[in-house]
Structure 1
Amino acid sequence: MTQEIRPYVLLSVAVSVDGYIDDATPERMKLSNAADFDRVDQVRADSDAILIGAETLRRDNPRLLVNSAHRRAARIAAGKPEYPLKIAVSARGDLDPELRFWHHGGGKLVYTTAAGAAKLGARLAGLAEVVSLGAEIQLGALLDDLGRRGIARLMVEGGTRVHTEFLSQDLADELQMAIAPIVIGHAAAPRFLGPAAYPARRMHLADVTQIGDIALLRYLPRQSGSAAYDS
């Protein structure tokens, strides 16, 4: 049996010092500075696909684009689509076709369950390809399908549930965490990660970069075999 070639999975997140990705107000809190937003734009341009969870899609209503015209032109010159493939993940299929995500950029793909696909097939007709992964969403099956589609590099932009599942299932090859000099402290605010059974080992710290008042940490979660709880 031929083994599936899965994409390289890069998790990208900006967090407060106390580990939140937003505050509890209706307006999105911008944790990154201008230089870090530009760095993220480059990471997007270097990716074949960008993935986001349904909760973040509904809360932030992002376009999820490569904003730099120069970077988009460089993608075209390299024989790539102008924009990376945009991917949404929704188990329930509760996605509004009016969200900006569907109306900007290039190709769109939704991974959902059989029940979700029954809702989204007509709702997103002409806007996105809808793929059912069966009774529930299995990230391994999702990555296998992306591999078959030729996606070599996948950028994951959240939110909490999606990042939690990729890390707890040991499916992330890289984590880029931008730490903002802000303390949020709202109990109702979303955090970077939720409770889960994570691999019990220390992640390899590959790089630390200062970007203005942001500290960018680059971890390689799967490159360390050290036990996390050795005394």
Structure 2
Amino acid sequence: MRPYVLSSVAVSIDGYIDDTSPDRLLLSNAADFDRVDEERAGCDAILIGAETMRRDNPHLLVNSPERRSSRVARGQSEFPLKITVTRSGKLDPALRFWHCGGAKLVYTTDAGAVVARESVGSLATVHALGSAIDFGSLLDDLGARGVRRLMVEGGGQMHTEFLSAGLVDEIQLAIAPLVVGNEGAPRFLHPANYPGGPTHRMHLEEVVQVGDVVVLRYLPTPTQRD
């Protein structure tokens, strides 16, 4: 069985997930970061793209000791499985992702697997998906590994791949009260053929104010997920 897929993202009012400066733009506030930490604690795995790893160099952890303890009490690992996706297999073993938390998993192509195993093969499980990356096959493999809830945290290419393939069950969109406006800054979604096209309307399940951030929770309709 494929895992439930939660797409979690923070954006500016004009739809950007970062600016063009070398430092990561913090869109969320402290309370929203804590909300995301709670969501992570409830997931079996967290996924980011290799470009997000290179750009942000995140730890990608459950930060709350109490939440980690609760996971262990439920029979889960202390930290969710950390996943990255790369076509080329070019991964920097010095990044924080590899040196904290629990198990790590790399999805890549047949050619990328050769490269990835040379750089991070001692730090992670490397799984080749064939000549290209099929995200449905990726979810099938995660289901076989016992992952029941997957949190996709970025970046824009990963959100685009999952959503355009109709593989997202829920979107949590945190909107920050600022405007980026930088030409070339990364956006939440890239151009793609999304299921149902521009006339398709998702179901707005919930709206929550978290300080100066508003979190919109959307549930895609059955036309977007078999």
Question: Under TM normalisation by the shorter chain, which class is it?
Answer: over 0.9
Alignment pair present for 1:171 and 2:170: no
Alignment of 1:30-179 (within 5 A): 30-179=26-175
Q: Which amino acid counterpart does residue 182 of structure 1 have in structure 2?
A: L
State the 1:223 CA deviation. 4.5
Q: Do the aligned partners of 1:45 and 1:84 also contact (CA within 8 Å) in 2? A: yes
Alignment pair present for 1:182 and 2:178: yes
State the 1:124 CA deviation. 1.0
State the 1:222 CA deviation. 2.8
State the 1:224 CA deviation. 6.6
**Counterparts of 1:78 and 1:28 in 2: how far apart (Å)?**
34
**Counterparts of 1:14 and 1:148 in 2: how far apart (Å)?**
30
Q: Do the aligned partners of 2:3 and 2:149 also contact (CA within 8 Å) in 1? A: yes
Contiguous gaps of at least 5 residues in structure 2 = none
- Give the corresponding residue for 2:205: 206
Report the secondary structure of 2:111's partner residue. helix
State the 1:125 CA deviation. 2.5
Which of 10, 13, 17 lines up with 1:17 in the alignment?
A: 13
Question: Once the two structures are aligned, what percentage of the paired residues are identical?
Answer: 64
State the 1:120 CA deviation. 1.1
Which string of whole-angstrom CA distances, capped at 9 and with x for unpartnered residues, describes residues 135-187 of structure 1?
00000000000000010000000101000111111100000000000000111
**Counterparts of 1:39 and 1:191 in 2: how far apart (Å)?**
22
**Counterparts of 2:3 and 2:179 in 1: how far apart (Å)?**
34
State the 1:126 CA deviation. 1.9
**Counterparts of 1:186 and 1:224 in 2: how far apart (Å)?**
34
Alignment pair present for 1:218 and 2:217: yes
Report the secondary structure of 1:65's partner residue. coil
How many corresponding residue pairs?
Answer: 221
Q: Which moved more, 1:216-225 or 1:141-150?
A: 216-225
**Counterparts of 1:218 and 1:173 in 2: how far apart (Å)?**
11
**Counterparts of 1:118 and 1:44 in 2: how far apart (Å)?**
30
- Give the structure-1-normalised TM-score: 0.94
- Give the structure-2-normalised TM-score: 0.96
**Counterparts of 2:210 and 2:7 in 1: how far apart (Å)?**
18
**Counterparts of 2:114 and 2:73 in 1: how far apart (Å)?**
39
**Counterparts of 1:51 and 1:27 in 2: how far apart (Å)?**
21
Q: Do the aligned partners of 2:195 and 2:223 also contact (CA within 8 Å) in 1? A: no
**Counterparts of 1:34 and 1:142 in 2: how far apart (Å)?**
33
Q: Do the aligned partners of 1:202 and 1:224 also contact (CA within 8 Å) in 2? A: no
**Counterparts of 2:223 and 2:110 in 1: how far apart (Å)?**
37
Q: Do the aligned partners of 1:203 and 1:223 also contact (CA within 8 Å) in 2? A: no
**Counterparts of 1:106 and 1:48 in 2: how far apart (Å)?**
11
Aligned CA RMSD, in angstroms, stands at: 1.0
